[in-house]
Amino acid sequence: MTDTPGQEAVARVWAAMYDLVLHQEDRRKEVAETLGISFFRVKALRRLLAGPMSMRDLTAELSTDKPYTTLMMDDLEQRGYVTRSVSPDDRRSKIVTLTPEGTAVAEEAERILARPPRSLLALDPGDLATLDRIMARLRTPQESAQRS
């Protein structure tokens, strides 16, 4: 099957979006270097911003295995970013909770990751408005189809 011109355009747009988000400004690297821990550990802290989680649920959220989650939590606990306690509902289960220091680290990661890339900030207002409309349609494809 050959690509149609529309498919080629879709591939170019996707490649540009992918490059913009993941490569132009390597935020994962910036977060890890700024905070002094691996991005995966930062990801765990960010998941805990929503509230305490069981080790089992955190393992599922991170799509990792139990031993690696335990290893990460050992490290984060030694750094003072999390505490683990026995679940009141199941003594075999541990609950992981952010400490104030862990919350500060997770929130700093959120600030870094939320900062728009310089190339996006450099767009002229008309292009930015156009991109904003397009992105709104991409975020809610069912709503866009209903409005058309």
pTM: 0.79
Q: Which residue segments constitute the domains of the chain, with CATH numbers given?
A: 5-140 (1.10.10.10)
Per-residue confidence (pLDDT) for residue 148, from 0 to 100: 41
pLDDT beyond 70 at 1: no
The helix-helix angle for 27-35 and 39-48 (nearest 10°) equals 80
CA-nearest of 42, 40, 39, 44 to 55 is 44
Quick: pLDDT tens for 67-122.
999 999 999 999 999 999 998 888 889 999 999 999 999 999 999 999 998 889 99
Question: Quick one: pLDDT at residue 114?
Answer: 92
d(CA 133, CA 14): 17
- What pLDDT score was predicted for residue 141? 59
Give the C-alpha distances (Å, rounded to integers) separating 67 from 56, 59, 64, 84: 11, 9, 9, 15
DSSP state of 23: I
Ranking 11-25, 65-79, 123-137 by mean pLDDT, the lowest is: 11-25
Q: At what angle do helices 66-78 and 39-48 cross, to 10 degrees?
A: 90
Going by C-alpha positions, the residue among 108, 96, 37 that lies closest to residue 69 is 96
Residue 38 is predicted with a pLDDT of 96
pLDDT given at position 138: 87
How confident is residue 4, by pLDDT bands cut at 50, 70 and 90?
A: confident
Residues in Cβ contact with 11 at an 8 Å cutoff, skipping those fewer than 6 apart: 3
